[in-house]
Amino acid sequence: MKFVLYFCCISIVWGIAFVGCGMKHNENMLSDSIRFQAKTDAESDAKQEVDLLAYFGTGVSAPLAVGTCCLMAGCIGMLIVDENVDFFPSISASVVSAAILSIGITDHSPPPNPPPERLIGKSPEYVKFYANAYREKMRSYRMRAVTAGSIVGCAAMTAATVIIRLIYHAMRSGGHD
């Protein structure tokens, strides 16, 4: 009799454990399904809504604006103060600093929130997964576009500075011969 009672108790405990584990497994499967669907939807929506040209332009504009200001200040300073001052290396340093600053500001600014109309009628779990995936994808797109723009801006300003420097030195050496 003790054996039967012992067997029944063990069977009940194991039965509860199996049923409980099975329910958790089904809940995890449901959660994974919601997570996957939310992530897929969010990435698709982010791809449609991202304005890569605006972010690329943001990356290009910082090095070009700073480089242009430095170039103008250097030219004016060279004309007023001393013709022998070589300001060109400071332009390159300023341009690279502006590019790094624009990337850093973009990295630390919060990504846009998903449009609320896409989340109406969705479960709280779906909304959480969707919002996180949307923000992460938008941040990724934004960082890549700003970084690419900054590289292009640095390259363009460096090329312009080299060309201006070559013209300047050609004019200086041509005038003294």
pLDDT at 32: 82
Which residue has 């069977």 as its token pair?
A: 11
Q: Could you report the per-residue pLDDT of 106-121, keeping only the tens digit for each?
A: 888 888 889 888 889 9
Determine the 3-state secondary structure of 159 from DSSP. Answer: helix
Joined tokens for residue 117: 């109309």
Radius of gyration of the chain measured on its C-alpha atoms: 31
- Give the pLDDT score at 94: 80
CA distance 124 to 4: 47
What confidence score (pLDDT) does residue 103 get? Answer: 86
Q: What pLDDT does residue 145 have?
A: 93
The per-residue pLDDT for 106 is: 86
> Which parts of the chain register pLDDT below 70?
1-30, 77-79, 81-87, 175-177
DSSP state of 129: H
CA–CA separation, 111 and 131 (whole Å): 11
**DSSP collapsed to 3 states, 3-26:** HHHHHHHHHHHHHHHHHHHHHHHH
In this prediction, residue 66 carries a pLDDT of 84
pLDDT of residue 68: 81
pLDDT on residue 83: 64
